[in-house]
């Protein structure tokens, strides 16, 4: 009986994930309406519930790295939440974007990309130094991890970092991504994140596509395409700057 | 037909992804540079032209609209597959490096936003589509 059920759920993984996500969202929107009278968005609660499921999945499989999708029965969640469908859905959100808004934010969007990479890199590098790292390779790799969890390992591989340091840089990037997902609705009002221009700046500063798009979805879904537009350039630019200019700079200081 | 919209969306997606990968290869990085952003701009421009010419019927638009509406559920699935354990295992250095970078970046938003102008978007009403 149980075996047959598990086999069916596994074989039809993507469909299973539709049901799991549907139920999660229903619970989240109900909690939002009943407990917070709609003040805390249902989508924000749904994302937090998703992260809780990811923790449970990772814990149940002794540290599986794919969250809930680490459990074979729920592997379909990995396909549904993977980069293929996520990027397709992000592109679909641009249906309704006002190009005039994008043009008006060209300068601030570009500046935010460079500033975002520099600020995150130097803070990550500074933390590495504070924790006692003294070699340019490790400092650069951890700094790159604070940029995004993709830039970290790419940079680490390019400059020849130790695998423990690479793992640390991935962890720093994951912390950033998860924190942006959950904290954007809380910061939105304070920092004026309520228009396409500041959404583009936000995307450029944070850069983590998963964090930015989930954070904006939980704040105001209309802003998602603007944030996504800039953040999609961030990881590539980070992979360009960190192992080159920024590594040479660190090498100049720390030998 | 609905598939026309889905095919248009997917076509723009692929063109953007390929262009982004070429761009990455051209500047020598192992990453896609702006692929999704390029796809988005392409879709906006192509749809604008087609709608003005009356070539994109409502049903075709619904094909794009479906994926637009699936966006938040997909993001929830994405959250559910994050390596939360890995983030916690990184210890204090990872928490501080990622956490401080995030908080400082938030407070850069109002500073850099001054370089451009945006029209305020009205807040959404729950439940969203």
Q: How confident is the model at residue B14 (pLDDT cuts 50, 70, 90)?
A: very high
Within chain A, residue ranges assigned H as helices are 2-11, 13-35, 42-60, 76-80, 83-93, 99-104, 106-130, 136-147, 151-159, 163-187, 196-206, 209-219, 224-241, 247-254
Q: Domain total for chain A?
A: 2
* ipTM reported for the complex, 2 dp: 0.85
State residue A83's pLDDT score.
87
Put simply, whether B51 touches A (Cβ < 8 Å) is: no
Segment A210-224 mean pLDDT? 91
Mean pLDDT of A25-31: 94
- Is residue A248 domain-shared with residue A215, that is, in the same domain? yes
Could you tell me the pLDDT band of residue B125, with boundaries at 50, 70 and 90? very low
pLDDT score for B123:
59
Q: What percent of chain A clears pLDDT 90, i.e. is strictly above it?
A: 68
- Which residues, numbered 84 to 123 in chain A, qualify as contacts with chain B under a Cβ-Cβ cut-off of 8 Å? 85-97, 99, 101-102, 104-109, 111-112, 115-116, 119-120, 123
Chain B residue closest to A236 (CA)? Answer: B33
Q: What mean pLDDT is predicted for residues A176-192? A: 92
Higher pLDDT, B128 or B53: B53
Quick one: what percent of chain B has pLDDT higher than 90?
A: 50
Cβ atoms A254, A135 nearer than 8 A: yes
pLDDT score for B92? 93
Average the pLDDT over B9-23 and give the result: 94
More confident residue, A102 or A255: A102
- pLDDT tops 80 at residue A181: yes
Q: Which domain holds residue A116?
A: 83-255
Q: Are B116 and A104 in contact (CB under 8 A)?
A: yes
Kind and range of the H or E element at B95?
helix B91-113
What's the gap in Å between the CA of B59 and the closest CA on chain A? Answer: 14
d(CA A11, CA B2): 27
pLDDT at A112: 95
pLDDT of residue B29: 76
Select from A81, A101, A123 the last residue of a domain: A81
Supply the angle between the helices B35-52 and B58-69 in degrees, to the nearest 10.
150
Q: What is the mean pLDDT of chain A?
A: 91
Query: pLDDT per residue over B101-114, tens digit each?
Result: 999 999 999 999 98
Question: pLDDT of A122-152, one tens digit each?
Answer: 999 999 999 999 999 999 999 999 999 889 9
> Which one of A41, A86, A94 makes the best mutation probe of the B interface by having the most chain B beta carbons within 10 Å?
A94
Domain extent listing, chain B: 1-74, 83-116
Same domain for A175 and A137: yes
Tokens of B19: 């262009």
Mean pLDDT value of segment A25-36: 92
B116 pLDDT above the threshold of 80: no
Q: What is the pLDDT of residue A116?
A: 95
pLDDT band at B118 (very low <50, low <70, confident <90, very high): low
Same domain, A55 and A114: no
> Cβ contact (<8 Å) for B77 and A77?
yes
Please report which confidence band the pLDDT of residue B122 belongs to, taking 50, 70 and 90 as the band edges. low
Last residue within a domain, chosen from A15, A47, A81: A81
The verdict on A54 and A91 lying in the same domain is: no
When pLDDT is cut at 50, 70 and 90, the band that residue B126 belongs to is very low
When pLDDT is cut at 50, 70 and 90, the band that residue A100 belongs to is confident
Q: Assess whether A155 and A171 both reside in one domain.
A: yes
* Residue A247 scores a pLDDT above 90: yes
Are B43 and A49 within 8 A, CB to CB?
A: no
**Residues A23 and A144 reside in one and the same domain:** no
Whether residue A77 is found in the same domain as residue A87: no
Domain co-membership, A44 together with A101 = no
CB within 8 Å of A48: residues ≥ 6 apart: A182, B79
Mean pLDDT of chain B: 87
A70 and A125 in a single domain? The answer is no
Residue A108 contacts residue B113 (beta carbons within 8 Å): yes
Check whether residue A185 and residue A241 sit in a common domain: yes
| The predicted structure's pLDDT at residue B100 | 96
Residues A11, A13: Cα–Cα separation, whole Å: 6
Q: Do A128 and B97 touch (CB under 8 A)?
A: yes
- The predicted pLDDT at position B129 comes to 39
Residues A107 and A26 in one domain: no
Task: Give the pLDDT of residue B127.
Answer: 44
Same domain, A103 and A223: yes
Name the domain boundary from A64, A81, A98: A81
Quick one: pLDDT band at residue B36, thresholds 50, 70, 90? confident
């Amino acid at each position: 009986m149980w075996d047959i059920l598990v086999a069916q759920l596994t074989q039809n993984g993507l469909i299973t994930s539709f049901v799991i996500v549907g139920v999660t969202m229903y619970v989240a929107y109900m909690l939002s309406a009943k407990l917070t009278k709609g003040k805390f968005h249902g989508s924000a609660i749904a994302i937090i519930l998703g992260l809780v499921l990811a923790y449970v999945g990772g814990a149940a499989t002794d540290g599986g790295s794919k969250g809930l999708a680490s459990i074979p029965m729920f592997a379909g969640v990995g396909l549904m939440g993977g980069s293929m469908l996520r990027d397709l859905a992000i592109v679909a959100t641009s249906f309704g974007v006002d190009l005039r808004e994008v043009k008006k934010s060209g300068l601030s969007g570009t500046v935010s990309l460079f500033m975002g990479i520099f600020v995150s890199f130097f803070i990550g590098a500074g933390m590495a130094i504070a924790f006692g790292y003294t070699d340019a390779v490790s400092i650069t790799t951890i700094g790159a991890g604070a940029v995004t969890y993709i830039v970290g390992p790419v940079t680490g591989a390019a400059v020849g970092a130790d695998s423990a340091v690479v793992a640390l840089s991935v962890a720093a990037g994951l912390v950033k991504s998860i924190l942006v997902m959950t904290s954007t609705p809380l910061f939105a009002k304070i920092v004026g994140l309520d228009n396409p221009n500041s959404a583009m700046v936000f995307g450029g500063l944070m850069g983590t596509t998963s964090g930015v798009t989930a954070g904006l979805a939980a704040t105001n879904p209309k802003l998602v395409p603007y944030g996504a537009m800039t953040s999609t350039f961030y990881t590539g630019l980070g992979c360009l700057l960190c192992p080159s200019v920024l590594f040479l700079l660190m090498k100049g200081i720390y030998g | 037909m609905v598939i026309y919209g889905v095919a248009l969306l997917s076509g723009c997606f692929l063109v953007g992804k390929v262009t982004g990968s070429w761009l990455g290869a051209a500047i020598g990085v192992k990453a896609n540079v702006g692929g999704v952003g390029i796809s988005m701009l392409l879709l906006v421009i192509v749809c604008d032209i087609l709608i003005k010419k009356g070539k994109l019927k409502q049903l075709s638009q619904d094909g794009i609209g479906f994926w637009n509406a699936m966006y938040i559920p997909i993001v929830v699935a994405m959250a559910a597959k994050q390596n939360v354990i890995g983030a916690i295992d990184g210890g204090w250095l990872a928490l501080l490096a990622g956490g401080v970078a995030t908080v400082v970046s938030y407070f850069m938003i109002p500073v850099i936003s001054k370089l451009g102008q945006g029209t305020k978007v009205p807040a959404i009403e729950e439940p969203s589509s």
